[in-house]
Amino acid sequence: MSKSSKESASVGKGGELHQRANTVLTTNHGMPLSDNQNSLRAGERGPTLLEDFVLREKIFHFDHERIPERIVHARGSGAHGYFEVTKAIPGLTKAALFSKKGNQCPVFVRFSTVAGSKGSKDTPRDVRGFAVKFYTEEGNWYLVGNNMPVFFIQDAIKFPDLIHAVKPEADRGFPQAASAHDTFWDFISLMPEAMHMVMWAMSDVALPRSLRMIEGFGVHTFRLVNAEGKSTFVKFHWRPKLGAQATCWDEAVKISGADPDYHRRDLWEAIAKGDFPEWSFGIQTFDEAWAAKQPYDVLDPTKLIPEEDIPVEVIGRMVLDRNPDNVFAETEQAAFLPTNIIPGVEFSNDPLLQGRLFSYLDTQKSRLGTTNFHQLPINAPICPMANFQRDGMMQTAIPKGRANYEPNSLNEAGEYGGPRAQPDRGFRTFADNNERNDPTEKLRIRAESFADHFTQARMFYRSQTVPEQAHIAAALVFELSKVQLVHVRTRTLAQLRNVDEDLAQRVADGLAMPLSKAETPAFSPQDMKPSDKLSLMKKFVPTLEGRKVGILFDEGSDLAEINSLKSAIEKAGATTMLIAPKVGGIKVKGGTLAAEGQLAGTPSVLLDAVALMLTKDAATKLCGESAAVDFVSDAFVHLKAIGHDEGAQPLLEKAGVVPDEGITSLDSSFIKAAARRFPAREPSVRMLP
């Protein structure tokens, strides 16, 4: 056999396409091309010929190179990495992954917004998807969650209604990636079960600073099952190493104009330069006896378990250390299914989860066009995989043998006729899947234990700091001000009274509306103890690590002082960005310095703190430049630290900066201040309800 025929046989055997192995440009079928610039014509200026199969193939592929976007979570960013077990839990689960400390497996994570289309912006007020593929030795486990621990609805049958309500209105096709409109709030005002999630969605959690700084939750109650068949309920948690952080609403709006790709760019650049995002992985575990004593139903996805009742136990960590090679092939074609679990992890009777188990497989067929979507590299397991499923559209493997059924006795597939089920190692559904000893008859009914829609919404609101409560009220005022139907606003105010009277009154005052009569709830809300774990500000991590600090300079600035500050900032774990009115190179004291960002194109909304290193003459000149004034003014309004030298004073005064603890000199006090924001400043810069 010749070399070429051997290579051909090898490729056919593996069914693989090694596109990058050839330096010669070819068609999709391997024919070398002589010209990829010109169509085949009848004469120099004649018509293009129908026989031009090169043109036909190229245009054909272009016409079909997009697949339907996801109905929800369409706009996503992905990254590869690894998961490592830091505490083994064999007593809780028989999953091989968690059997030993130090066990690792590859992961692929997709972060996303929910409501917007694929082409929408990164920074709307929205839930963020947090979906993780664990490529384990026992198959792929997909933990498909969000950055909020609860959801809007209790039963999956309401999911199409929720999404139809939040999507652009059917008759006009707008607004895009926004919940501030009539149909969403009409739905919410008629669905009191959504009120807890509304508190989260109106909080700062819905405006993350970075995808590297969001928490993740499995949302539902799952089960862990050990080798003895004992079941334990579990809630899954992801905690960012950098701490959770949010932007201001005004800041998020301005970021969307300055850089609609702000979050995906931030994630990509951090990984590219080696600042690998990391999360701890934790669990809350409890049994049915504990669950039965709670004033809420643990199967209700609109409820959470306070960490004061059951602390989160950290059992692993996840590091993202590699960007995708191709966004379409990986991030876009990644298929996530909640049904993908591994032995030792199982479902509960959560009705929203049960509906998701049914729905996701349909979605993959609709988007990816084939039942063989699991063969795409991003979706394929890394462990051995064998069954008798054959054929189907775009089958890329080449199964061998006569038998495509089981059992069979054809020894060509091996001594036992191919793969067989293994009762001792294979997945077994937990036998007693009937939580709380509910009746076994099939009922189209909502459990009475799901009827309390306001207790946890109240707990969430009252767990927030005073500034965070103001942000929730302001978000509700903004959203409801976009609602044109007065009766919807009135009904929502009535629902808010069941959450908190003060909140309802603040929103009513912000809308200049009378406070509606409270809706009578099906279950009177109780006063749960506030939880500090639910507040971003209370659990804020004061660190500069992973943040970005802008240094504004101009002619006459001191190069040595700039380098000294830059070094101090980077030593604290942050990155710096040199910003000036011009980028090509500016004469400074001690030499010439090129900027990394041009002032008009690098607003301070893209930074976490700013330093002004200017001479008095340069600062006075910049007072006539609106971009410079906005640069400083926005940093002040968005509660960020502003470090400055004496020469910057004219620009500070022009921008309306009033001294406070976040306005510092350019010494160690700035490094300390730059790690946080200053909510005490807020009443002086904006009117909050």
Q: Which residues are designated catalytic?
A: 73, 146
Bond from prior residue into 175 cis (ω within 30 degrees of 0): yes
- Buried b / exposed e along 626-659 (16+ C-beta atoms within 10 A): eebbbbbbbbbbbbbbbbbbebbbbbbebbebee
C-beta separation of 300 from 293 below 8 A? no
Instruction: Give the number of other Cβ atoms within 10 Å of residue 522's Cβ.
Output: 14
Closest by CA to 670, choosing from 626, 589, 604, 610, is 610
The whole-angstrom separation of Cα 205 and Cα 468 is: 10
- 442 alpha carbon, distance to own chain's centre: 36
Helix axes 501-511, 486-499, angle to 10 degrees: 150
Closest by CA to 71, choosing from 359, 473, 304, 451, is 359
131 Cβ contact list (under 8 Å, min separation 6): 73, 109, 110, 111, 112, 142, 143, 144, 145, 336
The whole-angstrom separation of Cα 164 and Cα 185 is: 12
The whole-angstrom separation of Cα 482 and Cα 182 is: 7
The two tokens of residue 296 are: 């809420």
The two tokens of residue 375 are: 């063969």
C-beta separation of 507 from 489 below 8 A? no
Q: What is the β-pairing status of strands 663-664 and 642-644? A: parallel
Closest by CA to 199, choosing from 304, 76, 110, 122, is 304
CA angle, 669 then 611 then 675, to 5°: 50
Specify the long-range contacts of residues 596-602, CB closer than 8 Å, at least 24 apart: 597/550, 599/552, 599/625, 599/627, 599/628, 599/631, 600/627, 602/550, 602/577
DSSP 8-state assignment for residue 674: T
- Which strands sit side by side in the sheet containing 548-553, from one edge to the other? 597-598, 575-580, 548-553, 609-613, 642-644, 663-664
The two tokens of residue 459 are: 């707990």
Q: Which residue has the tokens 């979507």?
A: 373
